[in-house]
Amino acid sequence: MGVPELTRNAVDVLPAGELERKLEQGRPLRVKLGIDVTSPDIHVGRAIPLQRMRSFQDEGHTGVLIVGDYTTRIGDPSGRSAERPVLTDEEIDRNAQTYVDQAMVILDPARTEVRYNGEWLSKLTYADVIHLGRTLTVARLLERDDFAKRMAVQAPISVSELLYPLMQAYDSVAVEADVELGGTDQLYNLLAGRDVMEAYGLEPQVVLTTPLLVSWDGKKMSSSEGNNIPLSMAPEEQFGRAMRIPDELLPEWYRLVMECEPPAGDPMEAKLELARFIVRRSHGEEGVRRGEDHFTRVVREGLAPDEAEIPVASVDGGSVYLPQLLSDQFGQSNSHWRRVIEQGGVKIDGEPVHDLELPAERLRGSLVQAGKRQFLKVSA
């Protein structure tokens, strides 16, 4: 058993030589990836470590996908300048339901073990948590760059945030991980997992990190920033968003998303191939046709989409919360759509709307436009 080109898309494989030693044992490795359910969707940036997990699976290893239904209730502080907002139990449960189906777009279901970390974290007693807390020192926890920056400007750090890396590390104990995957922003958490596993008498995991994908706005791809391409997004919108990638980012996107070098020649053709790849992976060839036809008509030719292409929604009751209607139809969080509405980016029958809640009667029979390329018909 092995992993072809194991360092492809890898920034760190730590400790040096340890993965090769584990592979020499001749048994399937347990390769862990944890994803907190802070948004309804997995986007193409978050899919990069999933692609690494698939490469392990293709060589006969077991992928252990941990849905962080419990750790989401705290929120990962990695890369954050402030504590994450707390989601409701209903939001967490709803998000968790969508994650596994989206992950299976990339993973091999036959070699995937899906676990929810509430399975073990919810059973820890207070004494168990105290014991877990003894495995790392406060000084070690405060070595994190994000904590150090927040301390420098006297921004608050909650005790729950200090517990987060310990809880993620305990996931590795619970599933007896051989390898843990994550983005480069997860390096501290992944290394903490090695220390905690050793404290519990287990062989520490190997850490493998992958780069963070930079989106069209020059920022890390993020659901909260609205600069992402969810795997579950409609093909028309996926295609359009992929075509927004600047030419200078194409080499990075090809290497991380398509796992190949970009072709020489016309950047526009390279960008079209990238968009086709992203849509094909989620929606197949029919999705590619729909996405490319829509892009040609609406973006290149500046025309409205064909009526048959516009999705239809119905509304009930006396009033409708517009961000929720848009989130249900197009993905993204309610907070994302609140910002778009406040910035005048949503129109009803061609007129900008700024109210978040509207009478259902005003919406029935209307054409809603969100941004330049997203349209929604509301049935009468």
pLDDT, tens digit, 9 for 90 and up, residues 134-168: 998 888 888 777 777 888 888 888 888 888 889 99
Q: What is the pLDDT of residue 308?
A: 66
Mean pLDDT confidence for 227-249: 92
What architecture does CATH give domain 310-378? Roll (3.10)
Q: How far apart are CA 61 and CA 33, in angstroms?
A: 13
What is d(CA 330, CA 223) in angstroms, rounded to the nearest whole number? 13
What CATH homologous superfamily does 12-210 map to?
HUPs (3.40.50.620)
Establish whether domains 12-210 and 310-378 are of one fold: no
Give the residue with greater pLDDT, 302 vs 174. 174
Contact (CB, 8 A) for 70 and 34: no
pLDDT at 372: 73
Q: Report residue 307's pLDDT band, with 50, 70 and 90 as the boundaries.
A: low
Helix or strand run (H / E) with residue 238: helix 235-242
Domain residue spans of the chain: 12-210, 235-302, 310-378
Provide the mean pLDDT of the chain. 87
In this prediction, residue 81 carries a pLDDT of 44
Contact 362, 354 (CB under 8 A): no
Place of tokens 């390096």: 187
Mean pLDDT value across residues 7-34: 90
Please compute the mean of the pLDDT values over residues 34-51 and round it to a whole number.
90
